[in-house]
Structure 1
């Protein structure tokens, strides 16, 4: 009797996963049509208008990413890395990666810093080390986003998780194989953009916007959680529901205020006109 109940529960769970997967595939296939109907390209462009310059945007499948190439890479790298760490069961990690892995992640950060400095020098009309390119902005942004994901995860866990929930002896990325999985995930992002198809580009666009909104929400949620007395006491996600909601609403308000401020600067001529998607 008990075995029959277990088998039935597993069958229902499997059926739900199959149906959910089919629905997700249908939504992804229809996403370009939905995005066109909602004029989503322009709406997302202005939604994050105050976040970055939006002057070196990636275009894939005829879709202009709302963030510049470097910022798109940062937030896509962050989201992909967090997704892989979740699959590895490392979301409660509390220890720095081994020295060799940490130095590699640090190299990712330095690489983006060098590329960003080189781009700035070129834009000032000064001799640069090499001509700035969007593919390098994207690649170095992806690496930085991966390192940022590891850093943010450790900060959040050390700040909020109760001692019995924190895996203090576990690192988010513990060896080269796991780092290889992360790099492979970043490579899939590059491949998705290189495929140059709207059906692939749109999920990446949405993922980048979720990433930037999520980081802003997290940055606001942490002090709210500390004020609420949750530091070192979180055992379930339910405890963070209200701080996260407050952080999300404030993040949306900040996005709106920054976008409005930048538009006013552009209208008055203090900033050049934006490269609005057509």
Structure 2
């Protein structure tokens, strides 16, 4: 699949999310197009991660109260993911998420992909192995791990672990990818490699990336939304991301 034209894949209206009576997102409305990475920017605690987790209903696991409208374009139609009939397991397979810190199972490299794949796909053993090979190639891991697939996944470097998490997500054939500060726990070199991989994958998958860094957004994104105190305060295109970076630098220096 290659995204040839920009089409909307996300429409949010008046989204409010609270935990234990505390409002974290307050009336957020936005729309985003496919065809490039969309970055979510803002200071820590501004609501970026809560927003991201809303898109596959992970906030539900933490007792969130969610109101508003959240629609994703998947499989050729708009899906109201807050509808009571929503199949959450299927939603989380289609809207895959990679977290800030790699969350691998303490089993082999191969099993980290094969176990969830067998549980959710209904594929046979050979088909699962073929798909594992495919996604390890997609994430530029195959040459690095093909000779050690039975080794513990925890023996990999931080950057390799994050790419394995991404491969595991891709194996389930998602329609949309969510990434929550995917380079924050990595060194500079590993982080840049992940960025290059995301730019490549964005040709095939609509993608939202939470970032703490306007400079990273300037490298990655075609558009960005800036969060502040649970609200979206700016929508930026490619050119204005750079201007926002300059403003952030100036205000940071002034402070």
Q: What is the TM-score normalised by the length of structure 1?
A: 0.27
- Larger strand proportion of the pair: 2
Q: What is the TM-score normalised by the length of structure 2?
A: 0.28
- Larger helix proportion of the pair: 1
